[in-house]
Each structure stands twice: as C-alpha cells, then as structure tokens.
Amino acid sequence: MSVAERRAFTLLEVLLAGVLSLMLLGLLVRIFLPMSKGLVRGSEQAGLQQTASVALATLGRALVRTTPEGVSLADQGRALALQPLAGVNAAGRQILTEELIACWWSADQKKLFLRHWPPSPPDLGRLPQNRVAFRLTATELLSLCDESRVERVLATQVERFQARLLDDCVLLEIELASPAPDGGVPERFALTRRFLMRNETP
C-alpha cells in the first residue's frame, strides 16, 4: 500500500499515540501537582498571617493608649479588658476615657471576640470614670465574655490566645491553624507582639 492510498491511522499507531499522551500527561501532573499544593499552602499561610496581624494591631491601637492600671486580665490571659486614656488636662493629669474594651478567646469556637462600650454600658453595676482607672475583677471580666452580645469577631481559626501584663507593656500571643485537607498537617502561624503602654496615672 502506497503512502498516497493510506487514509487513516493504523491501530498500532493509535495505541502508541495514546500511550505517549498518557506518559506526557502523567509527567506534567507530577511536575505541577506539588507546585499547586505549594501555592495553596503559601496562600493559607499568608491568610493566617494577615488575620493574626490585623487582630493584634487592632488591640495594639487601644493598648498604646492605656495605662497598666487600666488593664484587666482573666482566665490565664485569655480574656482582656482595658480603659484607654483620653489625654492630659491643663494640670498635667492624665484623663481616662469613659469607655471599656473587652477581648476574649473562645476555645470551643476557636474565635477571638471583641466588645466595646459605649454605646451600651457594661452590665456590672458601675461605669468607667475618667478620673480613676476601671480595673475589673476576673469574675466581672468573664461575665462580659458573652458571645451572644459580641460586636466583632477579630479572628477565626484561633488555636491559642494569651495576654500578659509585664510592667509597662502587654505581651499578646496568638496562634492560628487552617483546617487540614485530606487529613494532612494543618497550616499554622503564631505571632507575638509587645505593646508599650502610657505612663502610670499620677
């Protein structure tokens, strides 16, 4: 049979082409699959890092306006409340705001929550004053940690959160973890920040 008379591929040629195509496809999958997994892991890591940074930065903006007397801790540092400063009067005395900020970590929900007063005052039978630092007891602070009245979720996928008062600064530690796909190892990201507070009120 001449070349001019051939109008179709033989069965052997079709099988050979199919085998070569499968080999090429398998090679491409082996090359690009690890790369795609690496991209997914990198994206998850970046998301965890951004969430942790934003959460601690939000708390940090209030902490740097607070004195050590205006910080309350409970539940081994898993709950934090603070009363920021408003400024200094003509006599040079620091004036506290009449507001209160509470933040706590729910281990069950793996979320970091935030509440802020005003507009509604805390249900404690007493209100923050601008002359005396509003220090909460552990019982009072834990009574404010109510998810049903939360204003804002600062972070999700939180595996650990702790605040520690160290002289004139607060050390915040947070660790996040993304769900593990197919039972693999979850992506984790931990962040620690130290925030220097204002001088003590005279």
Domain boundaries, the chain: 35-196
Q: How far apart are CA 170 and CA 71, in angstroms?
A: 9
Per-residue pLDDT tens over the stretch 43-101? 888 889 999 999 999 999 989 888 888 899 999 999 999 888 887 778 777 787 878 88
Within 13 Å of residue 168, how many CA atoms lie on the same side as its CB?
A: 7
b (16+ CB within 10 A) / e for 120-147: eebebeeebeeeebbebeeebbbebbee
Tokens of 143: 């009574």
Within 13 Å of residue 44, how many CA atoms lie on the same side as its CB?
A: 18
Q: How far apart are CA 1 and CA 80, in angstroms?
A: 89
Residue-level pLDDT at 195 = 93
Q: How far apart are CA 115 and CA 81, in angstroms?
A: 9
Per-residue pLDDT tens over the stretch 135-188? 888 888 888 787 566 678 999 999 999 999 988 899 999 999 988 766 677 889
Tokens of 45: 């890591």
Question: Percent of the chain beyond pLDDT 90?
Answer: 30
Q: What is the pTM of this model?
A: 0.73
Whether the Cβ atoms of residue 112 and residue 153 lie closer than 8 Å to each other: yes
Whether the Cβ atoms of residue 158 and residue 174 lie closer than 8 Å to each other: yes
Within 13 Å of residue 121, how many CA atoms lie on the same side as its CB?
A: 9
